[in-house]
Amino acid sequence: MNVVVTAGGRPSPGDPLYPLTHGEPKALLEIAGKPMVQWVLDALNEAQAVERIILVGLPPRTELFSRRPLEILPDQGEMLANIQAGAHHLARLDPTSTHFLVCSSDIPALRGEMVDWLIEHVQQSRADLYYTVVQRQVMEARFPQSRRTYVRLKGGEFCGGDLNAVSLTLALGEHPFTRRLIEARKNPLRQAALVGFDTLILLLLGQLDLSQAEARVSHRLGMNGRALPCPYAEIGMDVDKPFQLDLLRADLSHP
């Protein structure tokens, strides 16, 4: 399966990571001797089922290593546009593919077997969107100081993962939901309305379990989405704040 890696984030003044990046891409922050994004590429290369990698958001001549075919596309200005740029490029390179992985560049603890785990789930069914979630107990057993943000559902608290999968049809804007999302991308209230305020309220009140939340959101958006409880905390351990960068530097310095 092909992978689009999103690496367009450049912390601006006021962002907690700005003093460490000074306007340069977050993906290039150094961790244990190499750029953060290189750790992600190494994991994708370790995976048995990854075919090619499209990295979106860095200058095309950025020096990175990959044994698998790697192409670097420039930043399109926002996350959705970067994903779509990668999807259009993949559609030209591999017209027969139906799905691809979307991987953030700021989960450096990722490992190859975790990537293969998701690919296996995607190949077993054909949903439009696969969204990984990590239960609080799983995250805090691996990274007790992570201080993630969790959504409370019946049966547990979950945070979102940063390695997911999407169909090309959905990503290319050929699905009605994608078109509505693009139209609403500058308006948070319109984005919330896509999911439904009733569903959001029930989620906030913890009145839905994971399968109920999945079913309600899928129905509201008119697509087949699957929430995948993930056994790997590393998929949700991203770098948003300096203490998380320090945590991962310490963790990856002692494999």
pLDDT tens digits for 128-139? 889 898 999 999
Cβ atoms < 10 Å from Cβ of 183? 12
pLDDT of residue 171: 87
Whether the Cβ atoms of residue 143 and residue 247 lie closer than 8 Å to each other: yes
Rounded Cα gap, residues 243 and 249, in angstroms: 10
Going by C-alpha positions, the residue among 177, 179, 191 that lies closest to residue 219 is: 177
Number of domains in the chain: 1
pLDDT of residue 188: 46
173: region left, alpha or beta (phi > 0 left; psi from -120 to 50 alpha): left
pLDDT of residue 179: 57
> In this structure, what CATH number is given to the domain that contains residue 75?
3.90.550.10
pLDDT of residue 33: 95
Whether the Cβ atoms of residue 137 and residue 49 lie closer than 8 Å to each other: no
pLDDT < 70 positions in the chain: 174-206, 217, 220-221, 255
pLDDT digits (tens, 9 = 90+) for 172-192: 876 566 556 555 544 544 545
pLDDT of residue 23: 86
pLDDT of residue 185: 47
Domain that holds residue 88: 2-253
pLDDT of residue 211: 83
pLDDT of residue 227: 85
pLDDT of residue 79: 84
